[in-house]
């Protein structure tokens, strides 16, 4: 902390502003700047989808390693604006600087495992520095986390500077291991989160990424004739995305906000956010990326069979998303986590249908999801009040 005190004396006064008084939990709306910030993530996500669509096997491994690191930092900005709302001009400027760092990351992600690109590491370092220096204004308990994020940035620099492919994979894996080990050795004391804001911010990120699935429909439709092959696949792809939205936003996220608001101990609340919104949202978001890559392959081929990899992307991405929602339910806890595991297994079971016909597999996924969500809705209804006996 001595180093931070020295930095605070050297930096201009506008940077080290005093933190505003903590507002009530229901008085922290998500700002338009935060929405703007989330939209930058769309570009990064689009790059991951393209990587997976180009090479389903190695692309998925590369996307998973990079996403594991980048999601930690992106979720960290949800925490940052939760404790330091961007109400002052200086904070807004700093967040805009962080957005420039994210833009650098998005532009250079495709080259990360193909020759390397040091500008990706530079963008990541900018993101880490802005996040850490701003967060330290709110609590000194963030100091060890900042140090871990800087260590991860060093690993990313190493990954983008080495020439050997295997070392690149190992160093990206090391960066992911560093950041995701933080909750194990950090006690989470001194960190405070507002339930409504943190839930809404994570939900907005999922909405943004679901939008990427719709973008994948447009990408796959470029230069294709407007016929049944295009329209049927596009509509069924949208129906799958709509079912995923329903599975998370109609019940689970409102219930999550209620559980977090009911958890008065700040340490327990932070741990629930970590488990339910940070850890569990890795498969939620990766599932959407994998599904989007599958939809990109399916567009324009509704009446034709898919190859095995593409059919697995469609069912596998949906199933991974459902497993992530099961993790959210376990972490809060909410009712019915094992129903989501069973629903994920049912979605995987229809994957071979894609080898026969693309529309058949997409339609089967929609039917399975619709039936599963309908059964869940019946199970979540409150029991009718007993009638008085005559």
Average pLDDT over the chain reads: 87
321 within 8 A of 288, measured Cβ to Cβ: yes
Closest to 296 in 3D by CA, of 209, 351, 360, 217 = 217
Rg (CA), the chain: 22
User: Is the per-residue pLDDT at 18 higher than 50?
Assistant: no
* Model confidence pLDDT, tens digit, residues 246-256: 999 999 999 99
Chain position carrying tokens 């006996």: 389
* Model confidence pLDDT, tens digit, residues 145-199: 999 999 999 999 999 999 778 899 999 999 999 999 998 887 777 677 889 999 9
Integer CA distances (angstroms), 312 to 3, 115, 339, in order: 50, 29, 21
Q: 97-101, 118-122, 266-270: lowest mean pLDDT where?
A: 266-270
Distance, CA of 259 to CA of 20 (rounded, Å): 26
Please report how the helices 143-161 and 118-135 are oriented relative to each other, as an axis angle in degrees rounded to 10: 180
Distance, CA of 154 to CA of 190 (rounded, Å): 26
Closest to 19 in 3D by CA, of 197, 182, 140, 128 = 140
* Model confidence pLDDT, tens digit, residues 196-234: 999 999 999 999 888 877 776 777 677 777 888 888 988
| Half-sphere exposure for 179 (CA within 13 Å, toward CB) | 29
Categorize the per-residue pLDDT at 40 as very low, low, confident or very high, splitting at 50, 70 and 90.
confident
What are the tokens at 346?
């049912």
Mean pLDDT of 68-87: 92
More confident residue, 344 or 137: 344
* Model confidence pLDDT, tens digit, residues 127-144: 999 999 998 888 787 888
Mean pLDDT of 59-76: 94
Residue ranges covered by each domain of the chain: 13-185, 195-379
Does residue 389 sit in helix, strand or coil? Answer: coil
Determine the pLDDT at residue 1: 42
Integer CA distances (angstroms), 220 to 50, 198, 292, in order: 11, 34, 10
Query: H/E/C letters for each residue in 208-229?
Result: HHHHHHHHHHHHHHCCCCCCHH
Closest to 28 in 3D by CA, of 321, 293, 260 = 260
Distance, CA of 300 to CA of 221 (rounded, Å): 7
């Amino acid at each position: 902390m001595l180093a931070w005190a020295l930095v605070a004396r050297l930096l201009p006064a506008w940077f080290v502003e005093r933190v505003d008084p903590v507002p009530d939990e229901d008085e922290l709306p998500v700002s338009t700047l935060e929405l703007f910030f989330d939209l930058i993530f769309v570009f990064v996500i689009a790059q991951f989808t393209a990587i997976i669509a180009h090479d389903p096997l190695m692309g998925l491994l590369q996307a998973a390693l990079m996403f594991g690191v980048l999601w930690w930092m992106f979720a960290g900005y949800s925490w940052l604006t939760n404790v330091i709302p961007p109400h002052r001009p200086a904070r807004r400027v700093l967040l805009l600087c962080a957005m420039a760092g994210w833009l650098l990351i998005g532009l250079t992600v495709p080259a990360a495992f193909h020759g390397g690109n040091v500008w990706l590491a530079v963008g990541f370092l900018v993101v880490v520095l802005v996040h850490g220096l701003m967060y330290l204004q709110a609590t000194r308990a963030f100091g060890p986390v900042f140090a871990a994020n800087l260590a991860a940035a060093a690993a990313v620099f190493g990954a983008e500077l080495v020439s050997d492919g295997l070392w690149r994979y190992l160093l990206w894996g090391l960066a992911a291991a560093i950041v995701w080990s933080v909750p194990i050795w950090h006690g989470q004391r001194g960190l405070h989160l507002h339930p409504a804001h943190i839930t809404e911010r994570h939900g907005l990120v999922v909405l943004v990424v679901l939008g990427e699935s719709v973008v994948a429909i447009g990408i796959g439709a470029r230069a294709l004739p407007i016929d049944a092959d295009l329209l049927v696949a596009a509509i069924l792809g949208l129906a799958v995305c709509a079912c995923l939205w329903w599975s998370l936003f109609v019940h689970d996220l409102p219930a999550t906000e209620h559980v977090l608001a009911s958890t008065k101990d700040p340490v327990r609340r932070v741990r629930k956010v970590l488990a339910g919104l940070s850890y569990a949202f890795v498969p939620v978001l990766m599932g959407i990326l994998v599904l989007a890559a599958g939809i990109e392959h399916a567009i324009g081929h509704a009446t034709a069979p898919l190859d095995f990899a593409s059919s697995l992307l469609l069912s596998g991405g949906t199933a991974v998303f459902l497993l992530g929602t099961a993790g959210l339910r376990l972490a809060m806890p909410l009712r019915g986590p094992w129903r989501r595991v069973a629903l994920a297994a049912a979605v995987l079971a229809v994957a071979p249908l894609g080898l026969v016909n693309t529309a058949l597999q997409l339609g089967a996924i929609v039917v399975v999801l619709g039936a599963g969500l309908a059964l869940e809705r019946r199970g979540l209804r409150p029991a009718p009040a007993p009638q008085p006996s005559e």
